[in-house]
Each structure stands twice: as structure tokens, then as C-alpha cells.
A and B are shown apart, each in its own frame.
Chain A
Amino acid sequence: MAEVVSVMTESPAGGRARAARTVLGQVVLPGEELLLPEQEDEGGPGSAGERPLRLNAEARSQVRVVCGPGLRRCGDRLLVTKCGRLRHKEPGSGGGVYWVDSQQKRYVPVKGDHVIGIVTAKSGDIFKVDVGGSEPASLSYLAFEGATKRNRPNVQVGDLIYGQFVVANKDMEPEMVCIDSCGRANGMGVIGQDGLLFKVTLGLIRKLLAPDCEIIQEVGKLYPLEIVFGMNGRVWVKAKTIQQTLILANILEACEHMTADQRKQIFSRLAES
């Protein structure tokens, strides 16, 4: 076993089996294995491989870790399957959630995600909605606020829909609704006929939707605007004039490739002009 470990440490590319805690915020590559905190404490990487994962064995090492996107359980370790920065969120108890923050363009439906879809077809009782995933999502005409069999919502092919996934898994057709559990629209539904739709990477959307995102606050100071972010990478924006809408869209697109300092400069320059 010791020999294997030495192989790991000398391999510069693999850099295998590092402790998850030590690489937080760093770039991880597919194929890397991460050790959970519990294993570090008890014996270091050398002996970690010999023990099976005991999730509830002792009170001391009771770790409940959730593998987020880009991670999979591999025996008693975490296997990285996507490239990106490793993130961790500590909830009240347990080992928390680990995930890989990657910059991808293709969306994979996830239950509970709010997305912007384009209606591609009406067939009977359901609408087919393109969300950018591998298959169109279905949306019942009853899944709108106040919709009844008689009172059908006014939805045309080509309209934009802001909705939420209630069914999304790899084996089933995704299903969207435009109401929350109380039957309220809660901001969801058909998006107005004006405004501009554009696409950004999924990583940028997550950044923009973060609770303390300074970009949104800065953008809000520039012009009064209406904006909708879909987790599928689509952004709809509307300002008073076409010109302002275009400026906003271009700023948001450009945010992707800028550091926080660069963004500050841009915003201060725009505020002046």
C-alpha cells in the first residue's frame, strides 16, 4: 500500500487522493480522488484506503457528505468527474456539501431549478418547451396560476416561459410548472413580448444568482430594468430603451471573463458616461 501511495504522490498529473479540505477553491480535474475530513483525522492518506466508509459507525466520525455536481462517491472517497473549482458548503451538522464549480454551456435539468424555456409545440393538454437540455420539457396548460379547463392560459409557440422543474431526472422526461406549491405564480409564467433573450454559461448564471452578487447590484444602479435569470444559462433583460437593453446584455455577457477589479472599473466608467 505504501508503494501505491508513493506512486500517487510522485504523479504530478494525478496528484491523487488529496484531502478535500485542502483543495477547496482550487481547480480539480476529472479522475482525482478526494479524501473526506474524517479520513484525514484518523490516519492520513496512507491508511485511508484500508477502511470501508462508515457513515454512521461512531459518533465521532459521523459524517454525512453530499456529493454535488461533478463529484461521485468512489468507495470511501470522492471521485471528481468534472473540471472546475472545488466548493464546499457547511450546513448545521455533518460534512456538508461538496461540488465542482465548472463553466459549462450545456444544461442538464435538475429538479427545482428555475429556467427560461421556449415553447416549441402545443399538443393537446401540454406544451413542449425547449430548455436547452437533451429533450424538451413538458408543461401542462393547467400548471399556470388561475388556469382551469375552461380558462386556458394564452401561450403561443415561440413564447418564453419562466418556470420550475417538478420532474427532472436522467430517466424521465422533464416536467415544468409555472406555479409554486400553493398554486401561486410567484413570478413564473409567460415572459412579456419585449426585451432581449441571450445565452451565457451556466457558471455565470450561478455567480449572478448568488445572494451577495455585486454585479446585479451594480447593474441595477445603471438603469431601471427587468431581468430574469434561468439556471439553464438564458437571461432575459428589458430596460426602457433598446439601447439600454443592449448595453445591459453586453455588460452581463462580458462579466464572464472579468475579474472583480475589472468589473469595478467598467461599472465606474459606465456610471460616469
Chain B
Amino acid sequence: MTQLIQTLTDGIAVGSLYALIALGYTLVYGILQFINFAHSDVFALGAWLSFTIATWFGLAAGSGATTPPWYIGLAVLALAMIGCGIVGFLIERLAYKPLRAAPRLNVLITAIGVSLLLENVGQLEGMFRGHHFKIFGPYPKAMPALIPDRVLLHFAAVQFRLVDAVVLGTALFLMVAIQWLVFRTRLGMAMRAVSFNHNSAALMGINVSRIISATFVLGSMLAAAAGFLYAMKYAQLKQTADNVWVLLGLKAFVAAVVGGIGNIRGAMLGGIFIGLIEFFGVAYLSDKYRDVYVFSLLIIVLLVRPSGILGKATVEKV
């Protein structure tokens, strides 16, 4: 029973992170029908920006360090989101926009290129004309604690920590916000129109280019938030070119596909679902095959229901 509840809480907490990243994939896919492979790197960037900004505030990891007041954490989150939003904007403008008319495969390869670029730029550290410079550096770092390590709830032997509450709360808040933005605002309406058909949207007076940019900025900001929350929960940050980031991103992508890619509620549902599958697999089957559960689920879902749980099937016109 203890294990069940513990697994459930862990699964939901991590699942909500997946959901946040999945939203970015889904938003972009909905509008451009392409898998933004660089999205996982924006997520990594979000985590590392949070770290860098936290150190600007004079914070450091380690015992004895007191946690700063709550608004510092909020400021770190906001700055990281702004930073990633800018990067997302630049990626779209510089790398993807010139390829709007190119075959999908080309855009995908470009995305892979952008992904490699971000990973390796992130790891830069060296000398330039006698000056030492560093982006994030090639070594893992420990994230300073921004949230007091407190147990909120005891249920039998299950601990529900403040960190988990913050992760879940922030993720839920952002998901509700995105939902509101897409379905209740003019920008959201324009986004939905563009995802339906670029040409008709343009004819209706929508600036398609700007909407696409906005979508990338939005997705990147969500990824940044996920990166921040990830850094809160797992204080160890691997260097940007480490597999961990891409793998987390891939699983989030799986979440988006399982939920029905292009579908915002599907991404949220899929994220939680994937988180649960992963943690239940690890807890009850075997730790060794952590990623197998997720990818097997993906294949099964695609075979049984190719458009995902909430996705709509498309029919090609002949």
C-alpha cells in the first residue's frame, strides 16, 4: 500500500513535468506538423538557465545553505522562461523559417542540427583572446535549493514533500493557463486557425509568421518551466549534451503522441499517463527496463489507435 501511494505520487509529479514538455511538442506539431527535436534541449536549457540565474543571486548548493525567500524562486523561474522564450524565437526564425516550404524530412534534420548545436554550445568553456569564458561548462552541477526541504504530509510511510507540491502546483497552473490562452484568447484563436490551415488563416488576416513564432515562444517557455521544476526536484544537473535530457524529451514526446499529438488536453493526459507507466513499471516489474515500458506503450497505442487517445484520425483526400 505504501509503495502504491508512493509510486502514484512520484508518477504524477514526474508525469506533470512530461506533460509540460509535451505541450511544447504538441503546440508546434499542431501548427507545423513537425517534430521539434530541439525541444528537449530547450528543456535542458531551462534547467541550466535556472541554475545560472540562481548563482547570480548568490545562491549555492550544499548543506548549511539556507533557502532564499519564495520570490527568488519565482524570479528564477520567470527569468529562465523569458530566456528560453527568446531562444525559442531565435531557433524558429533562423533555422526553421527558411525551410517553411521544404520537405518535412529536411526540417527534421535541421531540428536535429539545432539540437546538436544547443547541446554543444551549452558545454562550451575555454579561453578566447586571453579571457576565460563559459556557457554552462562540460561538467554536471548541483542545483541550489530554492524550496525548503519539508515534508508536507505523512501518510503511513509515504512522504509528500513540498517540492512535489510545488512541481505539481506550478505544472497544473501552467497547464490551466495554456488551456485558457489557446481556447479563450484572440491569440489562441489565431493559433487554432493557423493549425487548421495556414492559407485560410492568412486569408482571414492572421499574420501566420507571427503566430508560429508565438507558438515557439510559448512552447519554449513551458519547457523552461519544466526545466526549472526538474532542477528543483532532482538537484543534479547533467551537462547539456548528456543523454538524460534527450531521453526525458523523447518520453515527453511519447506522451504527446500517446495523448494524441496536436491535442492540448491529450498532451497533459499523456504526460501523466507516461509518468505513471514508468514509475509503476520500475516499482513493480524491473528497474532495468525503465524506458522499455514507455516505448512499448507508445508502439501499442500507435498500433491500436494511431492518432493517439484524444487525437482525431485524418483522411487523405483523393
Q: Does A associate with B in a complex? A: no
